[in-house]
Structure 1
Amino acid sequence: MKITAIEAIPFAIPYKKPLRFASGEVHAAEHVLVRAHTDDGLVGIAEAPPRPFTYGETQESIIAVIHKVFAPEIVGLSALDREDVQARMGRTVGNPAAKSAVDMALWDLLGKSVDLPVTRLLGGYAERMAVSHMVGFAPPREMVAEAERVRDEYGITTFKVKVGRTPFSLDVEACHALREALGADVELYVDGNRGWTASESARALHAMRELDLTLAEELCPSDDVLGRRWLVERSAIPFVADESATRPGEVTRELLSGAANAISIKTARTGFTASQRVLFQSEGLGVETVMGNQIDGQIGTMCTVAFGAAYPSTSRRAGELSNFLDMSDDLLTEPLEITGGTLPVREGAGLGIAIDPDKLAHYRQDT
């Protein structure tokens, strides 16, 4: 199981429509396919989605740090040396998506080496996860139409509504329209991507107090320390730390400071190894977790399902697993399918997925 090479391959797949939220917008999935090779012929795969407006990474920076920094440190180790790999990558500041993709590719290798699904190696709790769908910025009528289509076509009944616009009345109107159209049986929660101040957040939540929102995520900036604490103390809705809790230490800081009382876990930024640490920390501190989405493609979505379904606490809530529906295509030989509002884990070895070579040749950006 000696690691012989780490590849970082850029690819770009257009979205059917731009995805818009408070911190920016994306028009194409300009991601990086990471492949880890071993001396016995196994290949582990994962996906790194750059989010420059959130974490500072770009497609080019992910490729550079993997090829120039991580690969020279990792090649020659065993794929079983996960903690050594973590320590060596940890010497480099930042680069969460690049580190996570390398980590998950190694877990895929481990599953393939013992002919078991990664989700069973992690915990093996559930066979599928309920799906939450993200509704991005648009006029209220269009947001309602999208939610109704997704509900009717895929059976999804949990929706994460992007908010954070100024004036906040735009988002309040949209959330009211969604609740009125979808009814009381559908779960709604909001994500501000740090777009409001604490006072704007408080006023917006007051204006939406009758909508039975279940969560509020990152409504104001993470460095607004006193404002976030003030807001959380006054809200009956659990506040989810997402971009503000990208490492285990940040999770502890956000929870103990009173700036949040729930945690979003994204395998795209903490892989499987660090995501375990975040999960167990959260469980130990008695807070809920949500499986989030970094606008992943189908590869990244399957990573989220594999991790989320592995544990009782991460499979309790619907995971954010449907962003790939907005992509015009993907790289997998067998595309993911959401049915009855759920997405199953794959039974094959590792992540249970394979790359279509023709699609990769078509969408890759380095040839």
Structure 2
Amino acid sequence: MKITRIEAIPFAIPYVKTLKFASGEVHTADHVLVRVHTEDGLVGTAEAPPRPYTYGETQQSIVTVIDTIFAPQVIGHSALEREQIQAILHRTIGNPTAKAALDMAIWDVIGQALDVSVSQLLGGWTDRMRVSHMLGFDTPEQMVTEAQAIHERYGIATFKVKVGRRPVTLDVDVVAALREHFGETVELYVDGNRGWTPSESADALRRMADLGLTLAEELCPADDILGRRWLVGQCPVPFVADESATNPGEVTRELLGGSATAVSIKTARTGFTVSQRILGQAEGLGVEVVMGNQIDGQVGTLCSVAFGAAHQSTSRRAGELSNFLDMKDDLLAEPLQISDGTLSVRRGAGLGLQIDEDKLTHYRQDT
């Protein structure tokens, strides 16, 4: 399973509608398809979604760091030498989604070579996950309409509501409208993307105290150290660290420092190898986890559900696995299907994915 070639292919697919949230907005999925080739003819595949406003990566930076730094050092290694490859990647600072995509593509190779699904290799707990859908900024009426359409068509009954606007009543009114419309038939939780101050966050939580929220994520910046600890100390639901906990060291800092009481795991930024380490930390410390969404396409979503379904802890809550629905198209030859509010792991060896080469040719940006 010696690695002989690594490809980083930039592609761009428009969104049906702009997804807006406190730290930015997304109009186009300008991602990178990463392929790892071996001397045996196997090809492992994953997806890297750049988020410059969160991690500093761009589409071009991902392509460049893979082509000029990672590939020359990784080529020649066996795909089974995962720890050596992790050490190579770790020497370069930052670049989390580029590293994650390489890691997941290598796991895909290993699964294919062993004729076993990656999800089984990771743990094999179940074959599907409940799905949570992420609602971006809009009016209460529009967000209720979107949620109702998603609920009716796909059976999704968990919604992550983007908050963080000023005044806080803009978002409180949205959550109240969703709760009034659905009653207790759906689960609601909020994600502020660091948009509020600690005092604004506390005010919003008080106003939403009777709306049955189950989680609160990154309502204020982790850099507001004392204010964040003050806020978490009074938060009535688990407070989720997401962009403030992107590696094992940050997870330890946020949890032991009192700045979070739960963790979002995103395979798009920690791959499978580091995600398992973070999951072990969370289980050891007795905190809950949720499978987050990096506004992934279908390839990235397939990776998320493979990891989430593999472990008992990650499959307890609904995973954020549906925002590829906002894209006009995608690259999988067999598109993902959400049914009865769940998404299944792909059958077959590795990740079980096949790229539609005609679509890749159409959407790639380097030719």
- Structure-2-length-normalised TM-score: 1.00
Instruction: Provide the residue aligned with 2:165 in structure 1.
Output: 165
Once residues 212 and 174 of structure 1 are traced to their aligned partners in structure 2, the CA distance between those partners, rounded to angstroms, is 13
- Kindly indicate whether residue 346 of structure 2 is the aligned counterpart of residue 335 of structure 1: no
Distance in 1 (CA, whole Å) between partners of 2:56 and 2:222 is 15
CA distance in 2, matches of 1:61, 1:312: 35
- What secondary structure does 1:37 align onto? strand
SS in 2 for 1:215: strand
1:21 matched residue in structure 2: 21
Task: Report the counterpart of residue 203 of structure 2 in structure 1.
Answer: 203
- Residue 298 of structure 2 corresponds to residue 298 of structure 1: yes
CA distance in 2, matches of 1:118, 1:47: 15
Shift of 1:60: 0.3
Moved more, 10-19 or 176-185: 176-185
- 1:69 corresponds to: 69
Q: Which residue of 2 is the match for residue 308 of structure 1? A: 308
Alignment identity in percent? 71
Inter-partner Cα distance in structure 1 for 2:16 and 2:33: 21
* 1:1-367 correspondence to structure 2 within 5 Å: 1-367=1-367
1:63 aligned partner, one-letter code: V
CA deviation profile, 1:182-203 (whole Å, cap 9, x unmatched): 1112100000000000000000
Aligned residues: CA RMSD: 0.4
- The one-letter code sitting in structure 2 at the alignment partner of 1:145 is T
CA distance in 2, matches of 1:123, 1:237: 28
Q: CA deviation at 1:58?
A: 0.2
SS in 2 for 1:167: coil
Question: Partners in 2 of 1:168 and 1:349 — Cα distance?
Answer: 48
Q: Tell me how far 1:222 sits from its aligned partner.
A: 1.3
Could you tell me how far 1:82 is from its partner in structure 2?
0.5
**Structure 1: 4+ residue segments shifted above 3 A:** none
Letter in 1 for 2:75: V
- The structural deviation recorded for 1:42 is 0.3
Instruction: Give 3-state SS (helix, strand or coil) of 2:223's partner.
Output: coil
Instruction: Kindly state the Cα deviation for residue 50 of structure 1 after the two structures are TM-superposed.
Output: 0.3
SS in structure 2 of the partner of residue 209 of structure 1? coil
**Runs of 5+ unmatched residues, structure 2:** none
Cα distance in 2 for residues equivalent to 1:60 and 1:314: 32
Q: What secondary structure sits across from 1:211 in the alignment?
A: coil
Residue type of the partner of 1:363?
Y
- Deviation track 1:230-278 (CA, whole Å, cap 9, x = no partner) reads 0011111110000000000100000000000000000000000000000
For 1:222 and 1:268, locate their aligned partners in 2 and report how far apart those are by CA, in whole Å. 21
Aligned equivalents of 1:235, 1:330: Cα separation in 2: 39
Where 1:214 maps in the other structure, the secondary structure is strand
Task: List per-residue Cα deviations over 1:10-55 (Å, max 9, x = no partner).
Answer: 0000000001000000101000000000001000000000000000
CA distance in 1, matches of 2:120, 2:235: 38
One-letter identity of the residue aligned with 2:140 = P
Determine the C-alpha separation between the residues in 1 that align with 2:295 and 2:235.
28
Structure 2 counterpart SS, 1:14: strand
Partner Cα distance (2:159, 2:144) in 1: 11
Gaps of 5+ in 1: none
Once residues 182 and 71 of structure 2 are traced to their aligned partners in structure 1, the CA distance between those partners, rounded to angstroms, is 49
TM-score normalised to structure 1 length = 1.00
